[in-house]
Amino acid sequence: MARRRTGPTDTVRDLVFQRDGGCCVRCGSLHRLTIHHRVNRGMGGAREVWINQAHNLLLACEVCNGWFEDNPKPSYEAGWKVRRPQLPDKVEVRYADGRVYRLTPDGVRTAVVGAAR
């Protein structure tokens, strides 16, 4: 049979695309979009269920996806990356609209009122 998939399902990808408005969370680009993992998949793929759930995923263009890896400090500060053992539903995310959101596993984002970073 096919090898084990380690990425999110198509359903979850669609959910993330809709939630993030079809544009990159950092720069707002509509092009060359990829699914970015906030907590990196560890060695050997996704052992934890939440790794491939919507709150651990962001829509990001290829440029920003590379930028996150090259600039970990600001990426952690903005919530684009999350450092273990923190969990992605506990860390708020800054979006390209300048607002800060909290994400849930079922693909909902809620603006955090009064948050400033």
Query: Which residues does 21 contact at the CB level (< 8 Å), separation at least 6?
Result: none
Mark the segment that binds Zn ion (CB under 5 A) among 4-12, 23-31, 35-43, 106-114.
23-31
Residue (24 or 46) nearer to Zn ion, CB: 24
Whole-number Cα distances in Å, 116 to 29, 47, 111, 113: 23, 34, 12, 9
Distance CA 28, CA 44 (A): 32
Residue (29 or 104) nearer to Zn ion, CB: 29
SS3 category, 94: strand
Contact map string, positions 52 to 91, toward Zn ion, x by CB under 5 A: ---------x--x---------------------------
Q: Binding to Zn ion by residue 40, rule CB under 5 A?
A: no
Per CB under 5 A, residues contacting Zn ion are 24, 26-27, 29, 61, 64
